[in-house]
Amino acid sequence: MPAAGVVVATGAISLDHARAEVEQLGPVVGFLAAVLVLAHFCDVEGLFQACGAWTARWSGGRPARLLTAVFALASVITAVLSLDATVVLLTPVVFATAARSGVRAKPHVYACTHLSNTASLLLPVSNLTNLLAFAASGLSFTRFAALMVLPWLVAIGAEYLVFRWFFARDLSTAAPGARDTGEPPRLPLFALVTVGCTLAGFVLASAVGIDPAWAACAGALALAGRALVRRRATPVTVVKAAAPAFLAFVLALGVVVRAVVDNGLADALGRVLPGGTGLPALLGVAALAAVLANLINNLPAVLVLLPLVAPTGPGAVLAVLLGVNIGPNLTYAGSLATLLWRRIVHQHDHGVDLREFTRLGLLAVPTALGAAVVALWGALQVVGS
């Protein structure tokens, strides 16, 4: 945020451009706040705990079956409630589920981290990168989903095959007679119905031409309102769930990136970015986006690339999304910039086997990304852009 102040104060970006950027990002940030609140109160309603208990019962202590269940669960949670929900709320539940089932947790926690990226392709709400691209693409909510459903399924399928092979040894190990998976969980009916209605609201809103953010807003208000009435939340916790500091960060980041783009990055990237919407061009755009995401993190990457590809049409915008969403699985902490920053700021050893992390990424990212781009190209032919 101080950086945003600096670029405005030094004239690196004109006040008009800064204001235009903030006005453009405003509705996106509102949408994001609603999704964050929705996910938070789904957790308060016990949705994630119930999901953990269901996967434990369905898998019956068999590690490969548990991995399948975790893949399904993490894919749906990421698509509907965003990648934040998977990373922050679902990962601990999956870890606890694996431990309770007598199964090694590593493949399942890896699945959560990979799918929080790879499975965030489906809906505009799944990832902040999508919300930004959605605003720039001119697509309707349903058209976005219709074009992305095939790439989403194909990318998840590719990850699944890589995981089954990569973790074959861990997935063959389970303590016999794993402990009982406990009582059947209480069905968090209100949360499920609210999320279902919100999804229906997205479809309906885009059919009649209303901003789908209102549907997210209604869902968030329903869940937060119920928590307030039942005294499980206070107005302060509702505001905190919307992560105001993060929302402000997104606006500030938009201004900083706009300043950098205005000052020459656009020309430089414009020269290497392939034009057109054929399969080779889409592959090139997605690969460039993935590389950029691994260097500078995917939020700045998508902010940089969107103005450059938006004139080419929705196909190129969605190819950028495939790159910036799947790409971060290659680098621990999502990008070299974050990794270096954290290395410098916190001299803290997290004990992650970085060679193993990168080996998995080198297998999974090109496989999932390549297959997803081909699927997107196919979807563009069938659905039409």
Partner 1 sequence: MRVIVWLDEGTWPACVDAARAHAPAASEVVLLHVSGPGVAGLAHGAFAGLLGRAGSEPDPEGRLVELGRASAAELLDAAEARLGRACTRLERAGRVEREVVAAAEGADLLILARDGDRSRLGPHSLGKAVRFAVDHAPCPVLLVWPEGAPDLTTMPPPPPHHH
Residues at the interface with partner 1 (CB under 8 A): 63, 83-84, 87-88, 91-92, 95-96, 99-100, 102-106, 109-110, 112-113, 116, 168-169, 172-177, 179, 240, 243-246, 249-250, 253, 297-300, 328, 332-335, 338, 342, 349-353, 357
Say how far residue 362 (Cα) sits from the centre of its chain: 20
Angle at 321 between CA 243 and CA 165, to 5 degrees: 100
- What's the rounded Cα separation, in Å, for the pair 304 and 298? 10
Would you say 214 or 357 has its CB closer to partner 1?
Answer: 357
Helix (H, G, I), strand (E, B) or coil at 332: coil
Cβ-based neighbours of 355, under 8 Å, separated by 6 or more: none
- Residue 218: CB atoms within 10 A of its CB come to 17
Would you say 49 or 385 has its CB closer to partner 1?
Answer: 49
Distance in Å, CB of 226 to partner 1, minimum: 22
81: closest CA among 125, 19, 124, 112?
Answer: 125
Would you say 68 or 91 has its CB closer to partner 1?
Answer: 91
Distance in Å, CB of 212 to partner 1, minimum: 23
Would you say 142 or 358 has its CB closer to partner 1?
Answer: 358
- What's the rounded Cα separation, in Å, for the pair 296 and 28? 21
Would you say 48 or 134 has its CB closer to partner 1?
Answer: 48
Residue type, position 251, single letter: L
Residue with tokens 């102040």: 5
Distance in Å, CB of 139 to partner 1, minimum: 24
* Cα torsion through 316, 322, 323, 326, rounded to 10: 180
Would you say 110 or 160 has its CB closer to partner 1?
Answer: 110
Distance in Å, CB of 378 to partner 1, minimum: 29
Distance in Å, CB of 108 to partner 1, minimum: 9
Would you say 112 or 154 has its CB closer to partner 1?
Answer: 112
Distance in Å, CB of 273 to partner 1, minimum: 23
Distance in Å, CB of 144 to partner 1, minimum: 22
Angstrom distances, CA of residue 367 to CA of 67, 92, 241, 327: 19, 27, 36, 11
Distance in Å, CB of 169 to partner 1, minimum: 6
The 3-state secondary structure of 297-314 reads CHHHHHHHHHHHHHHHCH
Would you say 178 or 374 has its CB closer to partner 1?
Answer: 178
Say how far residue 21 (Cα) sits from the centre of its chain: 22
Query: For residue 247, what are its two tokens?
Result: 């929302």
- What's the rounded Cα separation, in Å, for the pair 301 and 325? 10
- What's the rounded Cα separation, in Å, for the pair 17 and 137? 20
